[in-house]
Structure 1
Amino acid sequence: MLTIEMEFLMGRAVLSQWGDRTQAEWPPHPQRLFSALVSAYGELGAQKEHENALRWFESLTAPEIKADLSPALRSTPSYFVPVNDEAMKSDSGRTDFRHVLDRRIRHERFFPAVVPEDPIVVFQWPQVPQLEQHRAPLAELVESLTYIGHSSSPVRACLRDESVTPSLCPADHGEMSLRIPSAGRFDRLMSSHELRRADESIQPPLGRVQSYKRPIASSIFSNDAIVVALEGGPRLGMGSTLPLIQQVRSALLARFGTSVSEVLSGHDSVGDMSRQPHLAIVPLGFVNSPYADGSLKGVAFVLPATADRSSRRQLRAALAKTWKLHLGPLGSINVRYVDPRSQGRLKSLDFSAYVGASDTWASVTPVVLDRHPRDKRPAEAVIATACERIGLPRPVEVGIRSVSTISGAPTVHEFHGRSKQVDNRPRQHTTIRFDRKVHGPVMLGAGRFTGLGLCMPLRIPSR
C-alpha cells in the first residue's frame, strides 16, 4: 500500500477549480498532487531516478482519498493585482516617466479558499506494484513539496506506513469527478512548461477525469443470514423477542453438541461471555406495512462478517432439517429452514429488508443501553457510541422515544423477558441518521446478540 499524507500548515487551502477560477477546488485533485511532484522534480535538479518514479506513479490506478468533505468556504471577492515589473516603454517616441508602480497593469484575480476542520488530506493506493523499487525517490519528491495550489497554501507532506479509512473511493458512477494523472502526463506537463516560456497563457490539458463516491460503511455483522420460519403452535408477538430468542439459542446449542466454536456459542474456552463478535439471533416479524400486527414469523441467525466457512457450515447443518422448539406450557413450534432460493416465501422472512443501504435507521426492537445515561452522557450519546462499536460511523442525529417509527413494532413497555445482559438497563426505541448511507444489518446495545436493538432502514419517500 502507498499512502501520501499532506497537511495544510495554515489551516486553509487556496485552490481554484480548473474551469472556474472563482470557485475553490476541494478535495485537492490527485492530478494537482502529481503536478506539484513534477514541480519538485525540477527544483531537485531533474534527476533520472525521480523521473522514473514519476513515470511509474502516473500509471497507478485512481487513489482513495481521506479529507474533510464539509469544509468552510471563504468568500471570494475579486482583487486587482499588479503584474510583475515592466521595462519603461516608448510610445511614438515619447518615454513613459511615470513611477514603476503606476506603470504596472492590474489584472483581476480570485483567491478562493476552503478551511477544513482537519487540515490533513491523505491519498491512498491499496494495491501498488513495484513500490519498493521507487519508494526512496518518491519519498524524496513528496517531502520536497512546499505548497499545493497557490503559494499561500504551504504544506507538509510525507509517506506514511499506516492505512486510513477513506472518505472518497473511485467509482464508475459517483458524487463528484476529480482529475487524476494517467500515462503520459509527465511528458505533457514538461512540454507545456517549455511552451509557457514563450506564452504564459498556455495551460496543461485537462487530462483524465475519475468519478468518486463516499464508501458505504458496513456493520461487523454479515448480511447473509440463515433464516428459519416459525410455524404452528402458539401465536407470538414481537414483545416476546427476548424469551423466545433465549429458548432458540438453548435449543441450538443442544443441537451442536459438545463441539462448538466461540463464534457460535458466544462463550470463550473457560465459559465466560465472549468479548469477540459472535452469533446474533434476531426476530423477524410482520412489521413495516400498513397492515402490520407485530406477530413473529421467523428468526434470523446472523454471524459476524469475520466468521470462517466452517462455522457457517456447522450452523447451516444444525438448522437444515425441521425441528420442534418446545415452549413449556405454551406448546411447541415447528422450526423450518427457509431456502433463500425458494419462491413465494413470506415477505417478513426476507432478511434483505434489514440490510439495504440507507442513511436513516429506526429500531424494530428497543435498544438496551449498555451505559447508564448521565448529564454529560445522555442516552443519544450512548446510542451513537453503540453505532461505532459495531463498525459504523458516528451518527449525526439520534432520536429516542418509547414508540418505534416502524409500523407494527411494539412499544418499549410491551417487550418483556429477563437476562443478566439487559436487566436494570434502560431501553429506548431510536431513529438514527448518518451523514452517509451505511449497510446493515444494524443491531445495537447490550441486547444486540439476543434480538434487541434490531434496526431497519427507514426510506422516507420524496415529495
Structure 2
Amino acid sequence: MRQDLAIKIEFQVLPKLSAMNTPQNGEWPPHPDRFFQACVATAAETEQDMSVLAALESQPDILASDAVCDKAPLRYVPENFRRSSGYHKGAAQYSPTVLPEKPTVYYIWRNVETELIPNLTAIVGEITHLGRASSMVIASVVDANTINPNLTPLNGAFKSSKMNLRCPYAGRLEELKRAYNAGQRSPQAQYVPYQSIQSMSPNHPWEDLIVLRPPTQLNGVHSTFWCEQIRRIVMSIIEIDIPSIISGHKEDENINHLHVAWNAIPNVGNKYAHGEILGLGCWIPKGIDARSVSMLWRALTKCRLDGQKLEADSSDLKSLRFETWSAESKRWATATPIALDRWPKKHTPIETVITNSILNLGLPAPSKIECNTHSFFNGAIPTFKYKTRNGRRLLTHAIIEWDQPVQGPILIGAERYFGSGLCRPILS
C-alpha cells in the first residue's frame, strides 16, 4: 500500500538560509534537497536505517508562505583555526536572515510505501536544524489530507518558471554517501522548476482565520448570538473610523462588498464533540490591508465575555487551524446549519436554492446535495435546536459533493457572516 507523506517544519528562530549560488541572498522556501540532506545527516548521527530515505528521492509538493529575503552584508567572523600567526581579519561570510510571513513549511511526497512511514517518521522527528545549526526547527510527520500545497513541480521548460528549487532525485542518497566517504563536499543537487498551484476556485474570498479561545464553554446553539456579540464588542473598541471591511457597511450602502465574516468555530467531527464553541473570531477576506488586520487583532485581544478576556490558542487545536477548513475535497458537509436566503418552492427545491447560493460564491455547481436536519459530523447542533438572527429562515444541514476537489473555506447561506453555513471538508 502507498500513501501521501506530509512533513511539517517549524522554525523556532528566524531562518538563516543562504542561497546556494548567491550566498548574500536568503533562500525561501528551504529547498527540498536541503531538507533531504538534513534527513541523511540525522539518520547517520542517530544510527537509524537511512535506506528508507530513498522513498524521498523525488520532487515534493510544498506549502510555504511568502517571505522577505533581503541581501546580507559581507561580514568577517573569527575562524576556529588561524591560518598564520600574523594579523588576519577573519573569514568572509554572508549570513542572510529570512523573514517569512509564517515560519512553517510543509513538504508533501506522494505515493510513499506505507510500511516505510514509521521509519521515516522516526528520522524526521530527530531533525534539529536546517542549514546552519542556528536555524533550529521542530520537524514532524502530519496528516497529508489536511495540507493544501501552493507549490508543485512544473512540467515544462526550465526558463518558464520564476522559482527553481534543488530537489532530491533517484540515486541522490548514494551520491551523498559516496561524497562523504571520499571526504568531499556534498555535490549540488539538480534544480527543478516549480509553479504556484492554481485553485479550482481562484476567486475564493477567504485568506486567513483569526480566532481566540472563549474564557468559558459556550453553547453552539447560540453561535449567531456570540458572533453578533464579538462584532459589537470589536466595533465599540475601535469606535472611530471603523474600516468598512470590518463594519460591513459602506457609505454607498452596498451590503455585498467583501468584509470579514464573524465566526464561532464549533467542536464537531470527533467522538467527544457536542457542538460547543471552541473559538471566536473572524474569517479574513483577500485583499484586506495590514492596518485593518492589525486593528482587528488588537480589538479581539481586548474583547471580554463575562468580564474575562479571549485567549490565544496555546494547545494548537486542529479545529482552530485554517487548514482544517480550507483543505481541498470533493465532499463537504455543514458544521453549522445553512440559513437559506429564500424559501424553496414547487419548481425551486431546497437543493436548487443551495446550488444558487454556491454559484453566487463563485464556486462550481455541485454534482450532488443531500439535506438533513442533522449534520454528517458528530456533535454538530441539529437544525431544530439552532438559533438564527432571523427566526423566519429555513435551516438545513447538507452534504455537498463536486466532481473535482474544491478548496475552502466554504460559508453558505444568508447568515454566513455570522457563523451559519460553515462547511468542513470530508477527508477519508
* TMscore range, shorter length: 0.5 to 0.7
**CA–CA distance in 2 between the matches of 1:350 and 1:236?**
19
Shift of 1:417: 4.0
SS of 2:304's equivalent? strand
- Residue 138 (structure 1) aligns with: none
The 3 A distance-change label for structure 1 pair 211 and 429 is same
- Residue 303 (structure 1) aligns with: 284
CA contact (8 A) 2:266 2:335 kept: no
Match of 1:437 among 383, 405, 414: 405
Shift of 1:381: 1.2
Runs of 4+ in 1 over 4 A off after TM superposition: 210-215
**Residue type matched to 1:288 in 2?**
G
- Residue 147 (structure 1) aligns with: none
Q: Write out aligned runs for 1:336-375 (5 A).
A: 336-338=310-312, 344-375=315-346
SS of 1:245's equivalent? helix
Shift of 1:408: 0.8
Q: Deviations over 1:23-63 (max 9, x none)?
A: xxxxxxxxxxxxxxxxxxxxxxxxxxxxxxxxxxxxxxxxx
**Residue type matched to 2:238 in 1?**
F
Q: Say whether 1:394 aligns with 2:374.
A: no
CA contact (8 A) 1:227 1:351 kept: no
Shift of 1:333: 5.9
Match of 2:247 among 265, 268, 273: 265
CA contact (8 A) 1:285 1:294 kept: yes
- Residue 39 (structure 1) aligns with: none
Shift of 1:452: 0.4
- Residue 41 (structure 2) aligns with: none
Q: Say whether 1:378 aligns with 2:378.
A: no
**CA–CA distance in 1 between the matches of 2:267 and 2:152?**
37
Match of 2:308 among 323, 334, 337: 334
Shift of 1:215: 4.3
CA contact (8 A) 1:285 1:295 kept: yes
Structure 1, unpaired ranges of 5+: 1-169, 184-209, 326-331
SS of 2:265's equivalent? strand
The 3 A distance-change label for structure 1 pair 310 and 412 is same
The 3 A distance-change label for structure 1 pair 212 and 452 is closer
TM-score normalised by the chain length of structure 1 = 0.49
**Residue type matched to 1:250 in 2?**
R
Shift of 1:277: 1.6
Q: Write out aligned runs for 1:411-426 (5 A).
A: 411-419=382-390, 423-426=391-394
- Residue 226 (structure 1) aligns with: 210
**CA–CA distance in 1 between the matches of 2:195 and 2:239?**
52
Structure 2, unpaired ranges of 5+: 1-150, 161-193
CA contact (8 A) 1:356 1:440 kept: yes
- Residue 28 (structure 2) aligns with: none
Shift of 1:335: 3.7
The 3 A distance-change label for structure 1 pair 218 and 457 is farther
Shift of 1:243: 1.3
The 3 A distance-change label for structure 1 pair 441 and 211 is closer
- Residue 297 (structure 2) aligns with: 316
Shift of 1:213: 8.9
Q: Deviations over 1:274-323 (max 9, x none)?
A: 221211011112211112121112113112213222221221222234x3
**CA–CA distance in 1 between the matches of 2:258 and 2:241?**
19
Shift of 1:223: 3.4
Tell me the C-alpha RMSD between the 2 structures.
3.0
Q: Say whether 1:239 aligns with 2:221.
A: yes
**CA–CA distance in 2 between the matches of 1:218 and 1:300?**
24
**CA–CA distance in 2 between the matches of 1:437 and 1:357?**
5
Q: Say whether 1:457 aligns with 2:425.
A: yes
**CA–CA distance in 1 between the matches of 2:401 and 2:272?**
26
CA contact (8 A) 1:445 1:453 kept: yes
**CA–CA distance in 1 between the matches of 2:195 and 2:289?**
34
Between the two proteins, what is the percent identity of the paired residues? 27
The 3 A distance-change label for structure 1 pair 236 and 273 is farther
CA contact (8 A) 1:219 1:441 kept: no
**CA–CA distance in 1 between the matches of 2:373 and 2:254?**
29
**Residue type matched to 2:218 in 1?**
L
The 3 A distance-change label for structure 1 pair 451 and 171 is same
SS of 1:263's equivalent? helix
**Residue type matched to 1:224 in 2?**
D
Q: Write out aligned runs for 1:145-294 (5 A).
A: 172=153, 215-217=199-201, 220-232=204-216, 235-269=217-251, 272=253, 274-294=255-275
CA contact (8 A) 2:215 2:311 kept: no
**CA–CA distance in 1 between the matches of 2:341 and 2:221?**
20
Shift of 1:222: 2.2
CA contact (8 A) 2:281 2:300 kept: no
**Residue type matched to 1:319 in 2?**
L
CA contact (8 A) 1:282 1:299 kept: yes
